[in-house]
Amino acid sequence: MISEKVQARPELFLFKFVGNLQKEPMDKNDREYTNGDITVYWRPNKCVHATICYTQLIEVFNPRKRPWVNMQGATNEKIIEIVDKCPTDALTYCWNKDLENPPAPREKKETVTSEKPVEIQIMRDGPILVTGKIKLTDNDGKEYKTYSISSFCRCGASGNMPFCDGMHRKIGFEG
């Protein structure tokens, strides 16, 4: 399922294959969760704490619970819808039947790299999510490396300024 937001601004997204998901080296923190039909892959080091997953489907994605992904919490369709909304590869999924057969190539939205305007999305109770090509400097003129998606702390509590490190959730930031 394609989210409304993507439909509304299709020019902001390109598509790329993640069909070779299984070949990507696993990080020791990576996790898999399955309900028998689909498997959700969680790569914490790719997460930009955009908060989309747990603000939109807390029944499945609840960072306060262990395991934090409850595959019984919603239908396959709903889980896939939210996984597709994750702006990074932190959350991806695969149909289990495709794991046995040669995996069908799947598509996931990725950010543009062209002259499109930079998209600055305020996340509720969370960071500033920035998609596009930017230059980032501090007041001393030091330049920071940026990626096609960055999330900037808005709550004031991050330990990795200027980026969000997920602390907004711990301090209960509202805004």
Strand-pairing partners, residue 111, are 13
CA atoms of 89 and 25, how far apart (whole Å)? 13
Cα 26 to Cα 45: distance, rounded to the nearest angstrom: 11
122 binds other proteins (CB under 8 A): yes
154 binding other proteins? (CB under 8 A): yes
Chain-centroid distance of CA 143 in Å reads: 25
From 10-18, 61-69, 99-107, 159-167, span contacting ligand FES (CB under 6 A): 159-167
Q: Name which of 121, 125, 152, 146 is nearest 134 in CA terms.
A: 146
One residue of 48, 86, 91, 130 binding other proteins per CB under 8 A: 130
CA separation for the pair 80, 83 (Å, rounded)? 5
Minimum distance, C-beta of residue 169 to ligand FES, in the bound complex (Å): 7
Which residues neighbour 35 within 8 Å (Cβ) at sequence distance 6 or greater?
A: 71, 72, 76, 79
Q: Which of 49, 85, 108, 109 binds ligand FES (CB under 6 A)?
A: 49
- Asked if 149 is part of the footprint of ligand FES (rule: CB under 6 A), the reply reads no
Q: Is 164 in the site for ligand SF4 (CB under 6 A)?
A: no
Distance between CA 48 and CA 151 in Å, rounded? Answer: 6
Q: Least distance in Å: CB of 166 to ligand SF4?
A: 8
Angle at 142 between CA 140 and CA 143, to 5 degrees: 145
Q: In angstroms, give the least distance from the CB of 110 to ligand FES.
A: 22
Interacting residues toward ligand SF4 by CB under 6 A: 47-53, 86-88, 90-91
Interacting residues toward ligand FES by CB under 6 A: 49, 126-127, 153-155, 157-158, 164-168
Interacting residues toward other proteins by CB under 8 A: 4-5, 8, 115-124, 128, 130, 132-139, 146, 152-157, 161-162, 173, 175
